[in-house]
Amino acid sequence: MTLPPPFDWRAAGIGPGPDVPADRRVTRDNWRTWPFTRWAFQHARELVPSRALPRAERPVPLIARPIDTAALAIDDGEGRQLDFDGFLARSYADALIILHRGEMLVEHYANGMTPATPHMAFSITKSLVGLVAERLIAAGTLDPDLRAGDVVPELRPSGFAGATLRQLLDMTDGTAFDEDYANPDADVHRYSAAYWTPAAGHGGVLAALPALVGTDALPGQAFRYRTPVGDVVGWMLRRATGKALATLVAEQVWLPAGCGDEAYMLVDTAGMEIAGTGFNATARDLARLALWLMAPDQRALVERLLAGGDRALWSAAMPPRPATGSYRGFWWIDHGAVPALVANGVYGQRLWIVPNEALAVIAFGSHPIVSNRFTEPLYDGLFASLRAILPG
């Protein structure tokens, strides 16, 4: 597939408002389609209502130790080698930070983005919500065997009702839902109206979730990744604790990690924070989150995640990949020779953490294609190249 070249939204005149020519005007209807994504993913709260997170009073300092990126030779997954600039262009990166042993080796921005610019993280949002749930479970505040329909009676008509919190966090609840972004008739496009389209999404996800009544497996019998599961867990967390989701994310993750830049969660058409997507933050604050997760005092949490979910179920759902991965607590787990935690978001968002090597990559992007199948091989190549040139 031939893809359009990346461009800077400022030079192209992309933006909102009546004074912008119609073919370059960003609206609430087109903001998730190319080329409007180039502007929109850095300005989501100007289009969709949001709820801000508090900032740490003393943000964790980030220490820079730049390396020469000329040493990076990145396999693009198709047999070609890219230099670092070629990788950035092919991945449509808006921001990229590489951390190693507590220091920033690379901090790169493009497309008008700056260190202070929040960017859409998409499904990395789920991974933050997963951290909240895992910490509350570890503290004894939540029982992982709680069933969705018991915590949230409104979900009893849905396919989620009999699934436990643990099964939901590991995406093995069995509720039927088609998340094929390339299929215009897929469930995900109708469901997302509850996020973004006031006229069609009246009532938000709290109205949309009970209507998802189908199942394609018994709870605990199959792994399938689906965005509404994040919203089910978000609803359970609110109901079980009596707190807003933004408050829980701030208390359990954002403030403990020392994140100090602007961050916010988009809210759905009913005014509730979206748990399945919509978190916005700076690349530097995701770097602080990675440093926090790699710190010794979070080792128990990380080890529980790295233990992973059911590898056989993951392998059955992800052919032809080898059974070296799983899914746990809304994180993708790499069980390779050096285990890694991975949080992904569509359009090229990445948070890749290798605790045993004190190595992490944070990336924001605005790729023309929703699915990450175009960027995943590129990031695999970057990770392999980093491991080749950095000491373990």
HEC string of 164-185?
A: EHHHHHCCCCCECCCCCCCCCC
Beta strands in the chain (DSSP E): 50-52, 63-64, 74-75, 81-82, 93-100, 103-109, 119-120, 264-266, 279-281, 325-328, 331-334, 340-345, 349-354, 359-365
Q: Is residue 208 classed as helix, strand or coil in its secondary structure? A: helix
* pLDDT for 110: 98
Do the Cβ atoms of 377 and 77 come closer than 8 Å? yes
Residue 157: which of 227, 87, 210 has the closest Cα?
A: 210
359 DSSP β-pair partners: 100, 354
84-91 helix and 376-389 helix, angle to the nearest 10 degrees: 160
- 39, two tokens: 């502007």
Sign of the dihedral defined by the CA atoms of residues 248, 254, 260, 262, in that order = negative
**99 DSSP β-pair partners:** 104, 360
Contact, 201 vs 268, CB < 8 A? yes
Per-residue pLDDT of the chain (392 residues), as tens digits, is 789 999 999 999 999 999 999 999 999 999 999 999 999 999 999 999 999 999 999 999 999 999 999 999 999 988 899 999 999 999 999 999 999 999 999 999 999 999 999 999 999 999 999 999 999 999 999 999 999 999 999 999 999 999 999 999 999 999 999 999 889 899 999 999 999 988 776 799 999 999 999 999 999 999 999 999 999 999 999 999 999 999 999 999 999 999 999 999 999 999 999 999 999 999 999 999 999 999 999 999 999 999 999 999 999 998 776 668 999 999 999 999 899 999 999 999 999 999 999 999 999 999 999 999 889 999 999 999 999 999 86
Cis omega (within 30 of 0) on the bond before 59? no
Residue 61 has φ and ψ, to the nearest 5°, of -70, 145
pLDDT for position 318? 87
**Architecture of the domain defined by 9-30+44-334+343-389:** 3-Layer(aba) Sandwich (3.40)
Please tell me the predicted confidence (pLDDT) of residue 201.
Answer: 62
Contact 374, 367 (CB under 8 A): yes
Kindly state the tokens that stand for 290.
Answer: 């990675």
Task: State in Å, rounded, how far the first CA of the chain is from the last one.
Answer: 37
